Structure 1
Amino acid sequence: MRSIVLSKSGINKVRSHSTELKAADFEGSIKSVPPGEWCQFQLSPTEFYVGFINPMIEEKYTCAYLVGKVTAEELKTFSPDKFVSAQIKKAFDKRQRYETYHSGARLFYGMSDGLPGLIVDSFENASIIQINTAGVDKFRDQIKSTLETLTGTKGYFLDNPKYREKEYLPTFETEKFPDLDVIENGLRYKIRSEVLQKVGFYYDHRENRFQLMSLLKRLSHKPKRGVDLFSYAGAWGMSALSGGVERVEFVDQGDFAVEVAEALKINGFADRGAFHRQDVFKYLDEMINKQTKFDLVLCDPPAFAKSASQKDQALEGYSKLHRKVLKCAAAGSICAFSSCTHYVGHDEFQKNVMDAARKEGRKVQLIYSGMQGWDHPVTSLEDKSNYIKSYFYFVE
């Protein structure tokens, strides 16, 4: 493999546990390196890492990823294709430790599982694959074959043109794949391929939804009326119904009436919920005008910021949303506020809720705090891959 020597800034980054490097982190030019080539990265005469590089990426962005430290002896026999298959097998085996993940999970989570840019969600009848880096894209066919062998289901690529464009990767014609059969926490969902978001299903809040079910089942007085805002296929609301809530309204501006109706039916909740296709903010305004109150509010919106520059705008959006939610929360109700915005931290998000409660004159008591599920692994709370936040409150 080609040897790339790191500059002082690059060495300092790696020794500070960073695995992402920019053009300025190398000694000399990297322009002659083919996009996606796997290389050995040298910090000193005896310190080596392996990874891949894409010199076509703009200098201000990450152009190289280190995926493992190796010895000089290991370098002699290192094989990128064997490494890729081994990382996928390792990630698969890790998910198999948890029985509730056998029927479906985030099977591969980018750098957290050792291959930056590879995302895989597995379902009962398919595995959906997304590749966003040139170094991993070189192994498309191998990745698909490995996953099909491990899961026993057919693999399908769902490329994201926006992400691939940054790496100057081609966008292939979207494969035709089946409606997805999903199982999470014992509940079933069926999602039409034409309305899929991301790579199929939001497994990232699985453990928080499990905690919601557990909490509700332990209450002596169950909430009567709940609302699932930004519902998608209805996973939060179905969890609430499973926990004993009498009825849940599902609200989303997307076309998910079929998904919600099917989930209500197959999970035995057919007469206990309804879908409302509407902008959530407008729906809440209508409920406020009608003075409608809910005993349980489940609020899990899509990301409010796509970049760090939009952080202030995102916080303003959350404040507006949280205040409307609290206006619709009955005395003694439970509100579950969740977020998937990378650029808003746990402390900032919780403060946003508390500020909204203060402005609305509501007293809230925190009863649960959560992060993403075990199939979205992180190394610490400060890990940038730790993006999921979920807080449950009693509202007085």
Structure 2
Amino acid sequence: MTSPSYPIVRLRPNANARAIRHGFPWVYANELVLDRRSKSLAPGSLAVLEDADRTPMGLVTVNPNSKIICRMLDRDPEEEINAAWFGARLQRALAHRARLYGDTQAHRLVHAEADGMPGVVIDRFNDVFVIQPNAAWADTHFDALVAAIEAASPNPTIVKNGTGRARKLEGLEETLEVARGDVAGPVGVEMNGATYFADVLEGQKTGLFFDQRENHAFAARLAVNARVLDVFSHVGGFGLAALANGAAGVLSVDSSEPALELAQRGAAAMGLAPSFTTRRGDAFKVMEALAEEGETFDVVICDPPAFAPSKDALERGLRAYERVARMATALVRPGGYLGLCSCSHAAELSKFRNASARGIGRAGRRGQIIHTGFAGPDHPQMPQLAESGYLKAVFFRLDG
């Protein structure tokens, strides 16, 4: 077989070639020689990356419109990116998830760089696969990826969810389509003994946050016979897990009525609807109202959106996390539990933990950290890429 012929892009002499050789998967625009030829490459093009001494380093995808101008695809500079290439990576990802979850087919199947597909996220909801192609190369090779999924799973439904901030950073247009099969409505899945319904077309991101699976399970251990408040609940993440594990009652708070309706549907599917209530509104206003009403709970969980999506937003985001902690603390009964989450990669653990502790202190309470959680093992991290370790969940037991 003839090896494919790829153009060559080259690192500047001051680029950190050693880090790339040791596994760092990105090349930033200021590290690459940007001559007329490299600038003319179409977004999503494949190229051989060379160091400043013209030694090949691997096969990369190039996007001149992105600050991350190159993403490493394969250490073999002559590799061909086709359905077989995708299939090998899918099989490796499938084997890992099968070891984790057995026959349960509701999980993050591909977690971008950590699973060898830079910028590509695939969430699996039984026979429904939701793909987020967040890098230009994934758009240009989308058909090959679909073919690999079809080879691995009979009669799949495949959704292309090309929406969100990541695509904007790549200079890509938003798109949303059912690429294969049909989606008749929300998809039901089981997780931690609870039933969830995900809107894979109109819901937030792919429709369900599998990354919180392990943190849901820990919170559920605290919830036996407890009254639980789940703030920023989406489709019932923490609340439904608590309900399935014997919570006496759950109140879920979210600004999205469709999300709360799906949460109620999950509670009904478990036969536990009488113990599950919802309250729609701005989370801060609802927490303020609950405090004014004198409401308290044994367990309070807050899983807000990313308040610090970038370094520029870090200080503002930390103030928001502190505010969440302060307001939520007022709703926790003496000796109760408070779980606080952040999905902002810019707010690393110590900064988030300190902001949370300040909020608890400002509420006039003291607490002990009993558990720190992260994304589950179906969301593997690249040790060279700090951005892949975005999720933190810190659980406190509060004093009187």
State the TM-score, normalized to the length of structure 1.
0.90
* Counterpart in the other structure of 2:271: 268
Note the aligned Cα RMSD (angstroms). 2.2
Q: CA deviation at 1:243?
A: 2.5
1:137 matches 2:145 = no
Q: Is 1:393 matched with 2:400? A: no
Residue 241 of structure 1 is aligned with which of 240, 243, 249?
A: 243
Is 1:208–2:215 an aligned residue pair? Answer: yes
Q: Which of the numbers 313, 318, 323 marks the counterpart of 1:315?
A: 318
CA contact (8 A) 1:148 1:155 kept: no
Q: Is the deviation greater in 234-243 or in 314-323?
A: 234-243
**Which amino acid in 2 is paired with 1:4?**
V
Partners of 1:362 and 1:83 in 2: CA distance: 55
In structure 2, the partner of 1:253 is 255
Q: Does 1:347 align with 2:356?
A: no
Q: 2:49 aligns with which of 37, 41, 56?
A: 41
Distance 1:23 1:281 in 2: 40
Change (3 A) 1:161 1:297: closer
- 2:273 aligns to what SS in structure 1? coil
Count the aligned residue pairs: 383
Which amino acid in structure 2 is aligned with residue 63 of structure 1?
I
After TM superposition, give the deviation of residue 85 of structure 1 in Å: 2.9
Q: Shift of the alpha carbon at 1:163?
A: 3.5
Structure 1 residue 169, shift from structure 2 partner: 3.4
Instruction: Show structure 2 runs of 5+ residues with no match.
Output: 1-5
CA-CA distance at 1:189 after TM superposition: 1.5
Q: Is 2:110 aligned against 1:105?
A: no
Compute the displacement of 1:301 (Å). Answer: 0.8
Equivalent residues of 2:60, 2:72 under 8 A apart: yes
Aligned partner of 2:191 in structure 1 is 184
Secondary structure of the residue aligned to 2:256 is coil
| Per-residue deviation, 1:258 | 2.0
TM-score between the two structures when normalised by the length of structure 2 = 0.89
Give matches, 1:61-80, under 5 Å. Answer: 61-70=67-76, 75-76=77-78, 78-80=79-81
Whole-angstrom CA distance in 2 between matches of 1:228 and 1:216: 11
Deviates more, 1:138-147 or 1:344-353: 138-147
| Deviation at residue 101 of structure 1 after TM alignment | 7.0
Conservation of the 8 A alpha-carbon contact between 2:195 and 2:267? no
For 2:62 and 2:313, how far apart are their aligned partners in 1?
29
State yes or no: 1:53 paired with 2:62: yes
Unaligned 5+ runs, structure 1 = none
Q: 1:330 aligns with which of 330, 333, 341?
A: 333
| Among 276, 281, 300, the residue aligned to 1:278 | 281
Give the secondary-structure state (helix, strand or coil) at the position aligned to 2:206.
Answer: coil
2-structure distance, mates of 1:165, 1:328: 38
Letter in 2 for 1:364: G
Write the deviation string for residues 341-395 of structure 1: whole angstroms up to 9, x where unpaired: 1111111111112112222221211111110001110134972210111111111
Shift of 1:294: 1.0
Pick from 135, 142, 161 the counterpart of residue 158 of structure 1.
Answer: 161
CA distance in 2, matches of 1:291, 1:381: 47
SS of 1:115's partner is coil
Q: Give the conservation status (yes or no) of the 8 Å contact 2:161–2:175.
A: no
Q: Secondary structure at the match of 1:97?
A: helix
- Deviations along 1:267-290, one digit per CA (max 9) or x if unpaired, are 121210111111111111111112
1:207-250 C-alpha deviation (Å, 9 max, x unpaired): 11112223445xxxx42x21110111112011112222200111
Q: Distance in 2 between matches of 1:226 and 1:55?
A: 49
Distance in 2 separating the partners of 1:19 and 1:367: 35
Amino acid at match of 1:128: V
Bigger drift between 180-189 and 168-177 goes to 168-177
**What is residue 117 of structure 1 aligned with on the other side?**
119
Cα displacement (A) at 1:34: 2.7
Equivalent in the alignment of 1:27: 33
Contact 1:148 1:154 survives alignment (8 Å): no
User: Kindly, what percent of the aligned residue pairs are identical?
Assistant: 25
Q: Indicate the larger mover: 206-215 or 110-119.
A: 206-215
